[in-house]
Amino acid sequence: MRKSISRLAASIGLGATLVVGTLAAPTAAQAEGKIRIAEQFGIVYLLLNVVRDQQLIEKHGKEEGIDIKVDWAQLSGGAAINDALLSGSVDIAGAGVGPLLTVWDRTKGRQNVKAVASLGNFPYYLVSSNPTVKTIADLSEKDRIAVPAVGVSVQSRFLQYAAAKQWGDKEYNRLDKYTLAIPHPDATAALLAGGTELNGHFSNPPFQDQVLANKNVHIVLNSYDLLGPNSPTLLFATEKFRNDNPKTYKAFVEALAEAADFAQKDKAAAADTYIRVTKAKIDRDALIRLIDNPQYEFTVTPKNTYPLAEFLYRVGAIKNKPASWQDYFFQDAERPLQGS
């Protein structure tokens, strides 16, 4: 008998825990000198690993004349991230462009959530252990696909985008019924172990690369084939936090830019940082080879996010149509973004 996903997770000591560490109880808007950041899992958050490891926010805060206390939390899924941001539990949220567009649309004219920066450009893979699934057209009731958050995660939005290309806009959510909300580490462990009803995962690096070590797992869809090189993961905040904490916000933006420069120029040091901060059980040389992939780019400049925004408006997933990518990104006079 095939094990259930939850039983497998329990047996290997993972479970479906969504929070690592603790989040502070919701409070009023923070005064200058404190910032709470929520991240998720994977190499796509490496810039935050560098920021944390080198205490770059604190460094740039001192340049602004303030001491900044930084709190870190780890969540899984854009829905959980958005809830934490809107409840006031965190100040900076890290999630996919899909969740960002959802919360931007939801808060337009109110909290006015917008993106602060990109975390880089990376291909995301939909993988499967079902040998009959060569393309998304082969997916059926026999398949169960792990995503961070059903319907709203960037992986879910990529799958919807692909479905719309395959069957038309009216069928954009045709494959949602095959998806399950499971954190990347748990889904990766399940696919590597086998023996569960989970046979697919729309992932991100390094999890998608680790699971391909199972010879029965193969790539079904590459996000770059859908949209070309793009920025799948962003950082975002409320307008109030940005306006009420200009020095803290500036220190955060400057820290990100320094981290991007560091990671892009020294991949070996970036790999060491990832292993040190996340305590990931991954071979160092393999990780260096992975992040040295020319398709990976560590940068705060967003790339090719707008096609997904147009798509989500077209199918009715968001009500407000952004005129351009600049509608859902904050623009800073001292460091203007030149993205797309």
**pLDDT digits over 13-59, tens only?**
333 334 444 444 444 444 699 999 999 889 999 999 999 999 999 99
Per-residue pLDDT tens over the stretch 199-252:
999 999 999 999 998 899 999 999 999 999 999 999 999 999 999 999 999 999
Position 289 pLDDT exceeds 90: yes
The whole-number pLDDT of residue 19 equals 42
CA distance 251 to 247: 6
- 147 burial (CB, 10 Å; 0-12 / 13-18 / 19+) is buried
- Please say if the pLDDT value at position 9 is more than 70: no
CA 241 from centre of chain: 21
DSSP code for 54: T
pLDDT digits (tens, 9 = 90+) for 124-173: 999 999 999 999 999 999 999 999 989 989 999 999 999 999 999 999 99
DSSP 121: B
CA 15 to CA 84: how far, in whole Å? Answer: 21
Give me the numbers of helices (H) and strands (E) for the chain, helices first please.
14, 10
**pTM, full prediction:** 0.86
pLDDT at residue 112 greater than cutoff 70: yes
**Domains of the chain in sequence order:** 5-13+123-227 (3.40.190.10), 34-122+230-328 (3.40.190.10)
Q: What mean pLDDT is reported for the chain?
A: 89
DSSP summary character for residue 26: P
Q: Are 157 and 308 in contact (CB under 8 A)?
A: yes
